[in-house]
Amino acid sequence: MKKKNTSVKPLNFTSGWEYAPAPESADHIHLEKQYELFIDGKFVKPGKGKYFDTINPATEKKIASVAEADEQDVAKAVSAARKAYDKVWGRMPAPERAKYIFRIARMIQERSREFAVIETMDGGKPIRESRDIDIPLAANHFFYYAGWADKLNYAFPNQQPAPLGVAGQIIPWNFPLLMAAWKIAPALATGNTVVLKPAETTPLTALKLAELIRDSGLPDGVVNIVTGAGRTGAAIVGHPGIDKIAFTGSTDVGKLIQKSIAGTDKKLTLELGGKAAHIIFEDAPINQAVEGIVNGIFFNQGHVCCAGSRLFVQESVADMVIQKLKDRMETLIVGDPMDKNTDIGAINSKEQLQTILKYIEIGKNEGGEIYQSSCALPGKGYFCKPTLFLNSSQSHRIVQEEIFGPVLTIQTFRTIEEVIEKANNIPYGLSAGVWTDKGSKIFNLTSRLRAGVIWANTYNKFDPASPFGGYKESGFGREGGLHGLMPYLKF
Amino acid sequence: MAQLQIPDFRKSTIVDQVGIEERVSRFNTRSIKKESKVKGLKLVLSMIDLTTLEGKDTEGKVKQMCYKAAHPHDALSGLPTVAAVCVYPTMVGTAKQALAGTGVKVASVSTAFPSGQSTRQVKLLDTKFAVEHGADEIDMVISRGEFLKGNYAFVFDEIAAIKEACGTARLKVIFETGELSTLDNVRRASELAMHAGADFIKTSTGKISPAATMPVTLVMLEAIRDFYYATGKMVGMKPAGGISTAKSGLQYLVMLHETLGADWLTNKWFRFGASSLANDVLMQLVKEKTGVYQSKEYFSAD
């Protein structure tokens, strides 16, 4: 059945049966008009009294004002964290620490619906994803690391693991609560205290997490959450009282951080950009591979550092894969993120939408053959159609640079050697995907692809027990699993 | 001499079970509300093959079921009839008579249903008997033993022979997927049956557990899609057995809609083999109309 009959009329996905709107209710959530900084167990006003707006990218409406922390505010947060580390948290018996972390995990589960709705309002991701993926995974991370808290001596036998002190953590806007969990859970489990800065476009779930942490009875100052943009982040990175920086975000900022802490004894982990190769061999389960391609690039509007954004298809099945991919794209529902049937929500911010559109223009000018699904976009809000670039070349900028949006480049290949060379020929090395029914081929590729995470016959699977991190310009250090404890310990 | 274009079924398309199950769970997150729910429920009702396949079937029971098929719930206006009734060959005449003028089709199981453990000759006679008594559709079973043995040519010839015996009656080919053990086998059987001339492919007899499941049905729908793109021929799908709630009916419909598109959203190309599904659909339709659920006693049990 490999030959396609070109005279056949394509399947019709545009009419027939439309799903009525099924919006998730936002009635049950409570949001303040204004959010302060969470320092030493209390919400306090910023010293300079400055605030910025956080908006809903699907409606372009303001949701709340959020405090902007300056150097002094950050210094207060760091000294609160230091005090909590010296007096309480660093000395607390590990089983006691574990109890607090378990409690946070359970409370996230209890309030999961509220978190899901706010995550979707503030960030634009579909409610299906925040409900089924982001929030449950965030709770699971706390559960997982709570379990390690009193077993560090078994994780690292005869190495006398000890906490570092105060961890400064800066997280991105693509998985706001989940990234907070990835950062906070291992830091607490290992006995460190935390100053965390969420991204300026998506601060709300981190601030709701601050409320939850306050309600959980975690000792004051163990977790401090300060909001703001790049300047606030720079203040955290530059503060001499910080023992460790954990950053997830763009490669450019990661390089700046690395430069600015050079010469200090701060420890550093960076989880940066990516441009993953997603490789489909002719002997793959093609129908499922197409689903994997869709999950790889259109999950979270493509705002995923490990997104499978460079598709490599073996030439013998390329036409078939592209045909199936186009059909599948017709069934993706783009629109109101709060609708339970939405597959692709809003782009996180106006700036990001402009970046994506700029790259689409670049792609067209480079001569890439563009294909977009026929869906209509809402009149308001920041939206982008799922986009393919067929016949892409290795030297196209859209192939080389991270777009961080629902844009997939497609290249074909003939031999294994060729695809490995092309897959590795990129400054990034965060993730990759391989689809083939042949186990030996999978192992051959996983050992030769230079990427931190490689999925075989699936894509974008996350688990707290599985380490995650990159090679090359995708950063260093691992989060998740046993490996995720190490960056927060000295031996 | 022209070569027949029959593929090598040992090389049928590979299926990944984990991926299939993931896709199914994603279909099941679709939330079908309000007018789309009513439209969907009516579609489900119109796609039902109301079925009775028991040794103790009587003519009276078949007649009553036929009335139900044409008048699912007269208390509610604007309802479609079901697509067909499905009976044993000996009941075809009775059903045909009872359904005259209603537009509801009569389907007959055949080929030594449900086990298929008989000779080609008997199976052909079985089929011809049903067709002669007026069956519009024939639901045959494949010889699973020969299929599992790898004797694909035997099964291919069997289907082709029955298809010929059907004349103008549409042929549904039952795989009994509960006995095929892997999704790869389901895919292989689907390709084989479609190439041999099946008008419909059908999961199960309803006599073996598991009967129809969403993963199995998805594999078959994908096979139908690939066959369509390869040949231009549309083939129908019939999951049968184990689908008893309106909710799962809608989930199957979502899966159909997003795999094969609008052209298959009709009872010409999709059927549910079910007996208790109809009443649950009716109960939901009445609820959508009146806002309250009625008890089971308000719906005739035929």
Q: What is the ipTM of this complex?
A: 0.94
Chain B residues within an 8 Å CB radius of A291: 19, 22-23
Ramachandran bin of A396, using left for φ above 0, alpha for ψ from -120 to 50, beta for the remaining angles: beta
What CATH code would you report for B9-298? Answer: 3.20.20.70
Q: Which residue of B has its CA nearest to A284?
A: B14
* Residue B110, helix vs strand vs coil: strand
Give domain limits for chain A: 34-272+474-490, 277-456
Q: Where along chain B do its domains lie? A: 9-298
In chain A, which stretches have pLDDT less than 50?
1-2
Put simply, whether A341 touches B (Cβ < 8 Å) is yes
pLDDT of residue B4: 56
Distance CA B263, CA B96 (A): 28
CB A281 within 8 A of CB A436: yes
Question: Which chain A residue has its CA at the smallest distance from B261's CA?
Answer: A13
CA distance B27 to chain A (A): 10
pLDDT of residue B1: 45
What pLDDT is stored for residue B248 in this prediction?
A: 97
Whole-number pLDDT of residue A4 = 52
Q: B230 to chain A, minimum CA–CA distance in Å?
A: 5
Q: Homologous superfamily of A277-456 in CATH? A: Aldehyde Dehydrogenase; Chain A, domain 2 (3.40.309.10)
For residue A129, what pLDDT is reported? 97
Q: How far apart are CA A441 and CA A283, in angstroms?
A: 10
A21 in contact with B, Cβ within 8 Å: yes
> How far off is chain A from B252, nearest CA to CA, in Å?
13
Q: Say what the pLDDT of residue A75 is.
A: 98
Per-residue pLDDT tens for B201-212? 999 999 999 999
Contact B15 A285 (CB under 8 A): yes
B-chain residues near A17 (CB < 8 A) = 36, 39-40, 43, 253, 257, 262, 265
Contact at CB, A128 and B29, closer than 8 angstroms: yes
Q: Are B230 and A1 within 8 A, CB to CB?
A: yes
- Listed as ranges, residues in chain B with pLDDT below 50 are 1
**Which residues, 6 or more positions from A439, have their beta carbon under 8 angstroms from its beta carbon?**
none
Mark yes or no for CB contact B23/A291 under 8 Å.
Answer: yes
Which strands form B200-202's sheet, in the order they lie side by side? B236-238, B200-202, B170-174, B137-141, B105-110, B84-87, B48-51, B272-274
Exactly one of A68, A114, A305, A306 is catalytic; name it.
A305
All residues of chain A having their beta carbon less than 8 Å from the beta carbon of residue B31 are 19, 22, 340-341
Chains A & B: contacts with CB separation below 8 Å: 103
Residue of A287, A325, A459 for testing the chain B interface, max B β-carbons within 10 Å = A287
Calculate how close chain B gets to A142, using CA atoms only, in Å. Answer: 25
Exactly one of A24, A271, A402, A479 is catalytic; which is it?
A: A271
HEC per residue, chain A: CCCCCCCCCCCCCCCCCCCCCCECCCCCCCCCCEECEEECCEEECCCCCCEEEEEECCCCEEEEEEECCCHHHHHHHHHHHHHHHHHHHCCCCHHHHHHHHHHHHHHHHHCHHHHHHHHHHHHCCCHHHHHHHHHHHHHHHHHHHHHHHHHHHHHCCCCCCEECCEEEEECCCCCHHHHHHHHHHHHHHCCCEEEEECCCCCCHHHHHHHHHHHHHCCCCCCEEECCCCHHHHHHHHHCCCCCEEEEECCHHHHHHHHHHCCCCCCEEEEECCCCCEEEECCCCCHHHHHHHHHHHHHHHHHCCCCCCCEEEEEHHHHHHHHHHHHHHHHCCCECCCCECCCCECCCCCHHHHHHHHHHHHHHHHCCCEEEECCCCCCCCCCCCCCEEEECCCCCCHHHHCCCCCCEEEEEEECCHHHHHHHHHCCCEECEEEEECCCHHHHHHHHHHCCCCEEEECCCCCCCCCCCECCEECCEECCECCHHHHHHHEEC
For A7, the closest chain B residue by CA position comes to B232
When the pLDDT of each residue in chain B is averaged and rounded to a whole number, the result is 95
pLDDT at A15: 76
| Residue carrying structure tokens 């049966």 | A17
Question: Half-sphere exposure of residue A10, counting CA atoms within 13 Å on the CB side?
Answer: 12
- CATH level 3 topology of A34-272+474-490: Aldehyde Dehydrogenase; Chain A, domain 1 (3.40.605)
Provide, as residue numbers in chain A, all residues whose Cβ is less than 8 Å from the Cβ of B230: 1, 3-5
Q: Does the beta-carbon distance from A20 to B40 stay under 8 Å? A: no
Tokens representing B287 are 């609820």
Please answer yes or no on whether B31 and A341 come within 8 Å at the CB atom.
yes
- For B26, the closest chain A residue by CA position comes to A128
Q: Work out the minimum CA distance from B174 to partner chain A, whole angstroms.
A: 22
B32 Cα to chain A: minimum distance (Å): 6
Q: Annotated catalytic sites of B, by residue?
A: 139, 202, 238
pLDDT recorded at residue B104: 98
Verify whether the Cβ–Cβ distance A20 to B32 is below 8 Å.
yes
